[in-house]
Amino acid sequence: MNQTVDFYFDFSSPYGYFSSEKVEEMASRCGATIVWRPYLMGVAFRLTQRKPLFQVPMVKEYSARDLERVARYDGTEFKIPSPFPIATVVACRAYYWLSQQDMLNAKKFATKLFRAYFIDNRTISEAAVVIEVAGQVGVDVKRLTEALTKPDVKKLARTATNNAIDKGVFGSPFFIVDGEPFWGHDRLPHVEAWVTSGGWWKEAEHLFTPKLCP
């Protein structure tokens, strides 16, 4: 049975980027379908009274070290960009506009946006950069440029964010499978085990050993 995994992330999230490089590989092992759902995590931050990692004393220093460590562990190319973090509303609008036409291409676009920011240090908060990246996956840049000015397209990111928050999403990456939430890149193996086993949290701890997909 093919299971759907909702993958929520913010384009300025480095841990979201790490998961974006691994999640489809995991899905192919398990026969799962990943639904990519970018949202504006800043809205969730206001509700939870949290701040970006690099704006918190002590946490910033640890996070910088951890990001480099995770990148080396995963074998994922990565550089801490500047500025960091950034607003991603334009990127989010562009993604959902494209997803209405071609979901597969929207995923390619999302992957290129992440890499543009976390490898090439491109400022993807700028519409010109977002449009340029979209052109690299074959998007009609003229149509996209026009679309980004339309009220219904501007509403897409807001609607996606509200829907995410209604589901209890507050971080990036954040996964939901069978209604079960998982927060963080380090929970990706747990997502895989959940898909494989059909869930385990109601089982007695000593009776269940999660198994990853072969």
Residue range 66-78, pLDDT digits in tens: 999 999 999 999 9
Between residues 88 and 207, which one has the greater pLDDT?
88
Does residue 214 lie in a domain region?
no
Q: Residue 97 above 60 pLDDT?
A: yes
Does residue 213 lie in a domain region?
no
**Taking residues 185-213, what's their average pLDDT?**
74
Least confident piece of the model among 8-17, 25-34, 204-213: 204-213
- Cα–Cα distance, 162 to 99 (Å, whole number): 18
Q: What angle do CA 15, 17, 22 make, to 5 degrees?
A: 95
Q: How many folded domains does the chain comprise?
A: 1
Query: What percent of the chain stands above pLDDT 90?
Result: 85
> What is residue 209's predicted lDDT score, i.e. its pLDDT?
53
> What is residue 206's predicted lDDT score, i.e. its pLDDT?
44
Q: How confident is the model at residue 52 (pLDDT cuts 50, 70, 90)?
A: confident
Range of the domain at 126: 4-207
Between residues 26 and 52, which one has the greater pLDDT?
26
Residue range 136-165, pLDDT digits in tens: 999 999 999 999 999 999 999 999 999 999
Does residue 166 lie in a domain region?
yes
- Cα–Cα distance, 197 to 55 (Å, whole number): 39
* CATH code of the domain in which 142 resides: 3.40.30.10
**Taking residues 31-40, what's their average pLDDT?**
96
Q: How confident is the model at residue 87 (pLDDT cuts 50, 70, 90)?
A: very high
Does residue 22 lie in a domain region?
yes
Contact 47, 214 (CB under 8 A): no
> What is residue 207's predicted lDDT score, i.e. its pLDDT?
44
Does residue 199 lie in a domain region?
yes
pTM: predicted TM-score of the whole model, two decimal places: 0.92
Tokens 């219904």 belong to: 152
Does residue 129 lie in a domain region?
yes
Does residue 136 lie in a domain region?
yes
Q: Return the closest-CA partner of residue 20 out of 149, 118, 91, 157.
A: 118
Task: Determine the distance from the C-alpha atom of residue 178 to the mean position of all C-alpha atoms in its chain, rounded to a whole number.
Answer: 18
Does residue 212 lie in a domain region?
no
